[in-house]
Every structure is written in C-alpha cells, then in structure tokens.
C-alpha cells in the first residue's frame, strides 16, 4: 500500500514537472548521474543490492533521460559546452567499472548512441569481488551503517584490512557472480574502443583519499592517472571520482597537482554551469531501486535525493 501511494504521488508530481519543462520554466542546468552496475533481469539480489540495477530498469531510465534531457559526454558537460535546448543537460557515469556496467550497460548505451564515462581503479581490474559486496552478501544485501563508518574511517577503505576485520561476515569472493565483480582487462579494452565511451580514474586502489597521508595520496592519484593515460590515450578523460565520495579541499588540490582537470562527488544534485569548484563537482547517485518516475523527478529538480 505504501509503495502504491508513493507511485501515485510521484506520477502526480511528474505531470506538474513535465508541464513546467514544456513551458520552458526550468532554465539550463546540468546533472551528472552516478550509476554502479547493471545485471541481467531475474537475477536475485547481488552483494550490496542498491548498487546493482536490473537491465530492464536501467533501460527504462535511459528512456526517461532521452525524453527529458540532452545527453552530453562528461568532458563537454564539465567544460560548460553550450546546448541550445532548454532541457537539462545530463552526463551518465559509472563508478567501480563492474563487469556488468562495461558489458551490459555499455551495450545499451551504444545501441542508443549515448556517451558515458566509467571510473576505474587500475589495481582492481580483473580481481574478484569488491569488499562491500562480500560483506553485504553475508547479511541483508547491504553493509550495516556502523560497519561502513569503521571500514572507511578506521580502516581507510582498504579492502584487505576490511575483509580481515569482517571475518566470517564477508562472503568468499567466489560467491559473487561474475557479472558483479570488477571488469577484466579485455572488457576494459573493448569498452575504450567503443564510440562515445571514456574511462576515467576512481583512484588506484579505492581507499579513502580524505585520510591518506600526503605522500600516499599523491602516489595513488598519480599512479592511476598515468596508468590510464598510457593505456587508453584519447579514450581517457583525466577526471577523478572520489572513492566512497570521501574528499576534502586538500584532496582536490592533490588531484589538480596530479594532472586531473576535475573531480566528482557522489552527492550534491544538479548545478548550473560552470560548476563552482571543478574539484568538487556534484552528482546524483542512482540507487538500483529508483523508479523511472523517481529518476524523472530528480532530473527535473523536483526531488533532490
């Protein structure tokens, strides 16, 4: 009953928002969407379930995005490239370079001629299962909030330390299906050859950059930047997505010094051009359970989260 009431309310709000859009009352603004993984329809919950959206729901999101927005490549959006349309300008991004994202999602995007950027941790390419999916798989398909705080702040987001600390709470890496692990080297190379697809940095090893000592921070950022640039050349966009969304002004300055042109958060909503701080660019995180109506309301600025 609660879900039905929510759907009815969202649809009513969306009718009003669509009318406002058609009347040209929204003005030009920009939105960067942050997805994680896309998995086949019918698969049971995987790992931290909020990160793994089904293929059919992702496709319904793309339908909404194309109907309501102008889709831009991330580099053009950050640079403030102009659009004649009064519709929102949207860039599509994926954190963590899951195998499902670089295969299923990239295929759906390519079929529609839509660009996207995939944020990669080079040291995790071809490895087995992210720590958060291992921890969530042994519980209720989510990482308990108290565990997350200690994992990020006490253990610095370091995967090996977190899995050791979690002990029996962490599922074996082999229990995570292939579609929900970091992509392999071949998958990433195939992605980078596709028209409109770019790769970017999610740091070297997905630690909490905000608490790394200065020397380790610089080493991590430079290593990722240089590896991706050397490997992918023109398909590499020198933009950083902060792991876990953890950042500070000091981390932003370190990213600039390491050669990045911008860095992205995972919150903050829409923004007008240009972003006030290119090293704290806002995004909208898209959870797997978000309805097409819910996405539309966020794209149109009616809902912020």
Query: Structural domain boundaries of the chain?
Result: 28-128+176-295
- List of residues 6+ apart from 170 with CB closer than 8 A: 131, 134, 135, 138, 162, 163
For the entire predicted model, the pTM comes to 0.92
Identify the pLDDT of residue 26. Answer: 53
| Average pLDDT of every residue of the chain | 90
Select from 202, 249, 239, 225 the least CA-distant residue to 77. Answer: 239
Asked whether the predicted pLDDT for residue 11 surpasses 70, the reply is: no
Residue 32 pairs with which residues in a beta bridge?
91
Percent with pLDDT over 70 in the chain: 89
Asked whether the predicted pLDDT for residue 115 surpasses 70, the reply is: yes
Identify the pLDDT of residue 72. Answer: 95
Which band of pLDDT confidence, cut at 50, 70 and 90, is reported for residue 9?
very low
Q: Does domain 28-128+176-295 have CATH number 3.20.20.370?
A: yes
Identify the pLDDT of residue 140. Answer: 79
Report d(CA 99, CA 124) in Å as an integer: 12
Identify the pLDDT of residue 168. Answer: 87
Identify the pLDDT of residue 22. Answer: 46
Identify the pLDDT of residue 207. Answer: 98
């Amino acid at each position: 009953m609660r879900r039905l009431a929510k759907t009815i309310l969202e649809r009513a709000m969306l009718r009003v928002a669509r009318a406002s859009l058609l009347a040209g009352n929204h003005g030009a603004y920009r939105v960067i969407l942050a997805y994680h993984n896309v998995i086949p329809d019918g698969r049971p919950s995987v790992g931290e379930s909020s990160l793994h959206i089904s293929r059919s729901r992702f496709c319904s999101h793309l339908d909404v995005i194309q109907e309501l927005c102008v889709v831009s490549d991330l580099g053009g959006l950050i640079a403030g490239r102009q659009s004649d349309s009064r519709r929102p300008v949207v860039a599509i991004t994926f954190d963590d370079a899951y195998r499902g994202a670089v295969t299923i999602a990239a295929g759906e995007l390519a079929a529609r001629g839509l660009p996207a950027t995939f944020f990669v941790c080079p040291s995790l390419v071809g490895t087995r299962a992210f720590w958060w999916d291992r921890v969530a798989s042994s519980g209720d398909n989510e990482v308990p909030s108290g565990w997350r705080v200690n994992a990020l702040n006490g253990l610095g987001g370091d995967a090996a330390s977190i899995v050791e600390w979690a002990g029996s709470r962490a599922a074996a890496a082999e229990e995570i299906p292939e579609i929900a692990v970091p992509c392999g080297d071949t998958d990433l190379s195939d992605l980078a050859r596709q028209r409109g697809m770019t790769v970017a940095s999610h740091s070297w090893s997905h630690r909490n950059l905000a608490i790394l000592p200065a020397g380790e921070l610089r080493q991590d950022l430079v290593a990722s930047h240089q590896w991706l640039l050397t490997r992918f050349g023109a398909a590499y966009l020198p933009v950083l997505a902060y792991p876990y969304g953890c950042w500070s002004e000091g981390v932003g300055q370190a990213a600039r010094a390491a050669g990045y042109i911008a860095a992205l958060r995972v919150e903050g909503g829409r923004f007008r051009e240009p972003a006030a701080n290119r090293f704290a660019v806002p995004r909208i995180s898209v959870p797997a359970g978000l309805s097409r109506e819910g996405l539309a309301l966020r794209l149109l600025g009616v809902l912020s989260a």
